[in-house]
Chains A and B, each alone.
Chain A
């Protein structure tokens, strides 16, 4: 077995301030080099917090982080100063949901990409501009020479997202983090960006962690899916395993709520209630209050992690029984 590119062990992230929020609770996750992992979860599941922790973007004063994160053999939580700056952008880079906020409005696209390349790789300006042009070509921006000089606000939504991907990949990171990069886009543009990401991933061979709330998007881009709930991963497996043989009641509920193939007029099997506020760290299964199958074990102790197959993990006492039932 190869060494994982990303290895997260027992990660806890707690925000303090007006309210205390235990956003991530004992999360374990790993990503093989060149693998695409989709993190599937709803708002408040801790998926975006986990992504920001990986890039060390959380405000240190209000955040308590414990556990271990290793990316490409580097202990991320101990990084600081120059080495942190090198890690961000060189080893790992990120694409955001809203490119307008992530791109600098006062520099042209070409300048922004070239600047990143010069800073991280020490290239000269001419070589950096060539790289910028190459990147714009790779993300299939039409007439890239002209677009080098264009400012973010002069581009359409889809083009901006392509430009941001070009910027993120300009320094050939080993790991790309994507935080719902297609959520704000129209359907016909979303699919273009998803296919582009899939293609570039193959070309560059990087690992990708793709955060989304949309199961369909996860199916389109990912090799594996990790379903997050209340700050922890409740189920992981390959895309096919999770879609066709979901074991955790929450995953099953999400699949039903996607309405793919729902019969018109039939009642939807909605998950009742709402996710927990996480003001205290969970002491039992966080999903138990919303779960139709919950029993005494679920309400008293954290669920065991059951491994139904290689690379597959389900945090539910019923994972085995549900399997037997089918």
Chain B
């Protein structure tokens, strides 16, 4: 890398070694109170993220899928420190956020690309100024920051001489999203979170951006968390997939394992809801009825029991824990490569009549 990258905003060193997960999220919890009336009395609680634990291994791409209200975007914002945790720990490369790692340090290591390419750029700043803002805040000189901005523009495929001086409204959606990626990379992060970052793009442009993401990851040794509702995209880009429902993780596992065997009934329903690409085998029956319930005061027990066709009494009463999916070669719940799901049907002796028969 060139000398400019050793300036104030240099990539953070790898401290924990390859075995140490880049991020360990432990029991993350974030509730939003709903207040109403003159005195702002608390009238309800949105359980946006409720006890979410996962790991992001160095160099991998973790895909997060789920419907609206499942907490995937809140999880992303918790990881960047844009919203504060109510409870739980974020451990970045071995350092716990709070005592061993400041918020400012975390934000050096983790950056985010948002869905709305227009809203995520200041309309009054040129592209160059937007990208250079972060490095400037961290003490880089103006000349250096500009140079870095132009290098990054070039590496996301926008010719610096043509684009650096332009304003966001003069760019197409795809070009703006490239700028947002450059802006995130300007901080030389180790983890980049993409929150539905390609969802608003046209399909042909989306493919270009996905290729770009693959190149950048290789070049810069990055780790990705990729949030999307498009299961095709997630399958293409992810090494591992995490499925969320109403603020909880219902299934995590290697992408191919999850796609091959959807252990949780919700995962199965989500996949079945994808439009068919075969005109002779169109979907005949919707896999789920009704809308996803809203995360204000969610159901007891397994949160999916209200929509699950296998639901039994035990599902209403007892919350299932993440357990390894039987029959998968790699066991051990704690391992990052494990395929785990939170369903009573996977656990012998849980009291569900269909133990072992599921999926």
Contact = CB atoms under 8 A, between A and B. Distances in A.
Contacts of B208: 270-272
Interface of B: 67-68, 172-175, 202-208, 210-211, 214, 229-233, 235-237, 255, 269-270, 272-280, 282-292, 294
Nearest to A265: B214
B286 A188 contact: yes
Interface residues of A, number: 45
Contact of B207 (A195, A217, A271): A271
Contact of B211 (A156, A216, A270): A270
B255, B277, B282: residue with the most chain A Cβ atoms closer than 10 Å = B277
A101 interface: no
Contact of B275 (A219, A244, A262): A219
A85 interface: no
Interface string A170-186: 00000000000000001
Nearest to A40: B203
A159 B229 CA distance: 20
A228 B5 CA distance: 45
Interface of A: 42-43, 156-159, 186-192, 194-195, 213-217, 219-220, 238-240, 243-244, 253-254, 256-260, 262, 264-265, 267-272, 274-275
A268 B207 contact: yes
Contact of B232 (A42, A43, A240, A262): A262
Contacts of A260: 232, 277
Given A157-B291, A260-B277, A272-B208, 12 more contacts: A42-B203, A157-B68, A187-B270, A188-B67, A191-B287, A194-B275, A195-B283, A214-B275, A220-B276, A270-B205, A274-B174, A274-B175
Q: Which of A186, A216, A217 has the most CB of B within 10 A?
A: A186
Nearest to B278: A219
A264 B255 contact: yes
A88 B75 CA distance: 46
A112 to B, nearest CB: 21
Nearest to A198: B282
Given A158-B290, A268-B210, A188 B269 contact: yes
* List of 8 A-B pairs having minimum Cβ-Cβ separation, nearest first: A216-B275, A270-B207, A42-B202, A186-B67, A271-B204, A156-B291, A259-B232, A257-B203
Contact of B288 (A188, A220, A257, A264): A188
B271 to A, nearest CB: 9
B270 A243 contact: no
A116 B294 CA distance: 32
Contacts of A42: 202-205
A317 B51 CA distance: 58
Contacts of A43: 173, 202
